[in-house]
Structure 1
Amino acid sequence: MSGVVPVRQRRVAVVGGGSAGAFCARLLARRHSDWKIDLYDRIPESEALGFGVGLTGALLETIRTVDAAVHADIMSMSFQFSSASFRLPAGEVFLNAFHHGVAIDRGGLIRILRHRAEDAGVGMHIGVDADALALSSEYDVVVAADGVSSQTRERLGDELGATVSVGRGQFIWCGSDTELPGTTFMPVRTDDGVFVVHAYPYAEGKSTWVVETDDHALARAGLGADVYPRGESDEKSLAYLSHAFSDLLGGRPLLGNASRWAHFRTVRCQRWSHGNVVLLGDAVATAHPSLGSGTKLAMEGAIALSAAMEHSDGSPDAVAQELHSYEAGRRGAVDRLQWRAMQSKIWWESFPYRMDGSPERVAVSFMSRGGAVGLDDLRRTDPELVRGAAAAYADVVSDQVPPSVPDEWILGQAAVGNQSTRIVDDLAGLDEIATLTVDFDDAWGERATELIEQLRGSASHASGVVVVTGDAGRPALVHRLAFGERVRLELGLPVAIVLDRNLLADGIDALVAGRVDMLHPIAPATELERVLAQ
């Protein structure tokens, strides 16, 4: 038939049988029964690392659409829950409708995906330590889904423009034979420092735990410096943490599965493929676990790559175009998710500064950390949380907060000095300590620390205000709101933020979350501000 491109049989090798690689192999084989698809992984299913992983509701719906059988398998062994809580020294607060997906044992998820891949006709080479670059001469396409420590990415680092940035904190992934009632965020202050857990149930009688701390706390505790053989856990650290979190564990020990301390690595690549080798999953992009989207990133990438390899004739030029199409279609979503994950990582690494605050305001700060969730969302899903946070913000009892917590009420609260509302019309009227321009993206990084040290000598001026300004646009505003929060937390100084009036909603969120004290909007006044001025 005229205009139809003949598609010849393809030979595709997938190196790495985790959630990205196994699902990609399954989808390709299911769509192209005449293709030769081979999956290589050096780790047997019985040695799968980790405990539970979360799958968002949006991801589950996408999986159901492209592969109903895999979706059914996942749902048959998944664990559903929705609530979360922050357990802080000042009290506990619950978040309703926090989680809209499920949790599942990571090993079980990999078993599902590998078995379904084999059912679809994928050649399984488990226990084989394959070399993706060596295979590139034997196959039309090689998918390198070989994880965050990808040897393929390391060897093609220059060609891919790969970078790996290391987080300030360290984390350890472990588990327990205790079924938590939902997601639990809890810090513990030991003699050595603060350890913070993010834990959630993933099966009946089981929970997964991610504990984070800083290098100084580990050094004081004598932990994290030992080297362990492959597959072994840091039992000394597990014992230490079992004691620290004994109340939450109900006296049971934490369990390990090759569990040891590590700095989280954020992987980025300027290019996702070279020749006929393409990276997938953690090999090409990672997201901090506090965002709960690592498996989402991997499996959505597998769906996108398999969809891009659909209609060409399989020639080298056509393969290159397919891989480019995969990257072009997927990069925007990955970049946005990585940006949100970076804000979450920065927030989480600085969590000890917030642990003695109002639980409700800390919870709102957490939910709004990446700009994806704001008060408008929380008013719908968790109105009592918003009301409690607003009461702590205004230093009143909850009964004095209007049920809907309108923006007018939030902005109408008295501020520092002679400011009768949280809107500052004229900065000249402030007792100003300093005006700082934030042109960096890490509120706890080196440049931010330099500014904090410059301000430290001014911290005694309790009536003064630090004005924080910067570029227009939402990402830049999110960065300076985070820096404003650091000024408040670390130095105890009030902060006024300069922002575009079109972004006033983000400023109102920041007031309740405790990031800033006052807002100085620029551009024409909004109807809300005109109401306040009457």
Structure 2
Amino acid sequence: MKTVLISGGGIAGAALALLLRRRGFAPVVVERAPGVRAGGQAVDIRGVALEVMDRMGLLTEARRMRTRMRGMSMLDADGTEVERTTEYALSSGRLDGDDIEILREDLVRLLHTHTHEEVEYVFGDSIVSLEEHEAGVRVGFAHGPARDVDLVVGADGQHSAVRRLAFGPAEDHTHHLGSYLSVFSAENFLDLDNWQVWLRDGDAGFGIMPVRDNRELRIAFGFESAPLDGDHRDTEWLRRLVVDRLSALRWESDRLTKAALEAPDFYCDALAQIRMDRWSHGRVVLLGDAGYCASPFSGQGTSLALVGAYVLADALAGRAAPGDDHRTAFARYESAMRPFVEANQALATENPGGPASEESMTRAKNAITLPHAPR
């Protein structure tokens, strides 16, 4: 049984672990966080990714967990409503469609629930070295003892440690998109009832949506900026940046600032894309944001993670040609995924400052055909 070490216990890593275990592999998931990560914005499962969820047997559960927005309002900088709709939401698209909007933490928890009994999870640790040898890879960790594994998958996000170790510095592959995004939770101080609001004030703006039966808010605040000189893991430095910009808003700045200061799940990062000529090096391969982050501007990061996990698991299982080695499998994975990735990354740059067209989204979310499901 081949051991596949997966760095990252988020959507991409947990989905791959589930799919590999069902195909007879022994996946091990290493996650830097001390447990399953909470917080995060609502994410979307669209197009072909819905079929992946169905093949994993999780589609019905995901539909039960979806958000239930009734519509949205667009506000001016003073908080006055200038537009409203019950047909569409900026966070998810058309409200009468089949696509699913779900909180990131709920999707990660769902995947973990269906994997943790058969998959080894190592929380609170991270990969610090990779040494490939004839029979596999010797992996060094920040805290635990080194391990020898057959393959390594970097599913550890935009700032992937696996990518840095195997492919070089992040700046070689990162393309900044001119903005930063912060996401954090708060009490529902606006009394929103399954209704989201969006506002732009100069070079900053936010979207606010209620979750957890309207008990909480998820606030997504963005601001334009060139790349900032600081540590992306320094949460308090990032929190100060966000608070400074929130305090300059004309509407609800005090309560938004207070929420950002107090939020235990505060997150902020640059909006960027990862673009690479190849996603594998020897026995190491990249998945999801680590290899082809499309940025939240695309609205397709979750779908890319789920579809990528399915295609990679299928390629590694060698169904097309039993006995294929990892090099053949990685090539098959990349050949199938690259057109899909390029179509979805293009969504983020089609309409700077706004969403891509509905027609472009429809094409991109369906721009791949999955391999036949295994028996």
> Could you tell me the TM-score, scaled by structure 1's length?
0.54
Provide the C-alpha distance between the structure 2 equivalents of 1:149 and 1:270, rounded to a whole number of angstroms.
17
User: Does residue 299 of structure 1 match 2:306?
Assistant: yes
Distance (whole Å) between structure 2 residues aligned to residue 371 and residue 75 of structure 1: 24
Q: Does the CA contact (< 8 Å) of 1:239 and 1:253 recur in 2?
A: no
For residues 207-227 of structure 1, the C-alpha deviation after alignment (integer angstroms, 9 at most, x for no partner) is 3222222349x9xxxxx8887
The alpha-carbon distance between structure 1 residues 246 and 215, as it changes in their structure 2 partners (threshold 3 A), is same
Structure label with greater radius of gyration: 1
Q: Which of 125, 128, 144 is 1:128 aligned to?
A: 125
Match of 1:115, as an amino acid? Answer: T
Measured after TM superposition, the shift of residue 18 of structure 1 is 0.7
Matches of 1:12 and 1:208 in 2, distance apart?
35
1:228–1:42 distance in 2 versus 1, CA, 3 Å: closer
Amino acid at match of 1:281: G
Distance 2:155 2:116 in 1: 17
The number of aligned residues is: 332
Measure how far apart 1:334 and its partner are. 0.6
2:34–2:123 CA contact under 8 A, matched in 1: yes
Does 2:194 match 1:195?
no
RMSD: 3.6
Alignment pair present for 1:94 and 2:85: yes
How far apart are the structure 2 equivalents of 1:214 and 1:252? Answer: 18
1:164–1:298: structure 2 CA closer, same or farther, 3 Å change rule? Answer: same
Alpha-carbon shift at residue 251 of structure 1 (Å): 7.9
CA displacement at 1:125 relative to structure 2 = 1.3
CA distance, structure 2, for counterparts of residue 184 and residue 53 of structure 1: 14
Identical aligned residues as a percent: 21
> In 1, distance between residues paired with 2:316 and 2:250?
48
Does 2:63 align with 1:56?
no
1:347 is aligned, of 342, 353, 357, to 353
Higher relative contact order (CA 8 A, sep 6+): 2
CA distance in structure 2 between the aligned counterparts of 1:372 and 1:55, rounded to whole angstroms: 12
Partners of 1:258 and 1:240 lie apart in 2 by 19
- In structure 1, C-alpha distance between the alignment counterparts of 2:322 and 2:2, rounded to whole Å: 7
Matched, 1:39 2:40: no
1:20-31 to 2 correspondence within 5 Å?
20-31=12-23
Distance 1:152 1:318 in 2: 21
Separation in structure 2 between the aligned mates of residue 44 and residue 245 of structure 1, nearest angstrom: 38
1:266 aligned to 2:288?
no
| CA distance 1:258–1:231, change in 2 (3 Å) | farther
Change (3 A) 1:227 1:15: closer
More strand by share: 2
Alignment match of 1:67 (pick from 56, 66, 86): 56
Identify the match of residue 222 of structure 2 among 207, 212, 216.
212
Q: Does the CA-based 8 Å contact 1:15-1:132 persist in structure 2?
A: no
Unaligned ranges ≥5, structure 2 = 89-93, 139-147, 364-375
2:84 pairs with 1:83? no
Find 2:332's aligned residue among 325, 334, 350: 325
Distance between the aligned counterparts of 1:59 and 1:211, measured in 2? 29
Trace 1:374-523 onto structure 2 (pairs within 5 A).
none
Equivalent residue number for residue 287 of structure 1: 294
Distance 2:163 2:230 in 1: 27
Q: TM-score, normalised by structure 2?
A: 0.75
SS in 2 for 1:117: coil
User: Structure 1 or 2: larger helix share?
Assistant: 1
